[in-house]
Amino acid sequence: RRDVSEYVAAKTDAQLIDRLRTLKGTSENVIANQELMQLMLPILRADFLLCGSFVYGVREPLSVPIHVFGGKQDSISVEELLDWQEETRTGFSLDMFEGHHFYLVDEQTQLLRLLRRYCEQHLARWRNSTSRQMNRAAG
């Protein structure tokens, strides 16, 4: 369970900008655009505060597989990502990509390829399961 305490209190503009730089998902050209940042910082501030309000609640594991993706250089550790396997009872996978929190910008093709493969696998399983159920009902 990730510690979200750093997001409980509202950040100053400077603190938010520092966090954006740490996450490595916002170009310096965007950060340097004061007009754009005036529009975006209140939204980002609210987003971070929302993250800080999250309280994990123990519940029954899901009956669907969970596929987790992460960046190898992100501050979220592999161990934290592996915690997601406790949230499912049917299947779990973890795929790591080069990059930080916004790895998906540079790894979009590979990520989409994996998403497609996982979707095709689950669709095939669902079709097989549905077909077996229909055969049993007809038989």
Please write the tens of the pLDDT for every residue from 56-76. 888 999 999 999 999 999 989
Q: Dump pLDDT digits (tens) for 86-110.
A: 999 999 999 999 999 999 889 999 9
Q: Dump pLDDT digits (tens) for 15-24.
A: 999 999 998 8
Q: Helix, strand or coil for residue 93?
A: strand
Would you kindly state where each structural domain of the chain is located, as residue ranges?
A: 5-52, 66-138
Q: Which of 53, 41, 57, 55 is nearest to 8 (CA)?
A: 53
H helices then E strands: how many in the chain?
A: 6, 2
pLDDT at 131 over 90: no
Q: What is the CB-side half-sphere exposure of residue 77 using CA atoms within 13 A?
A: 6
Q: Residue 139 has what pLDDT?
A: 67
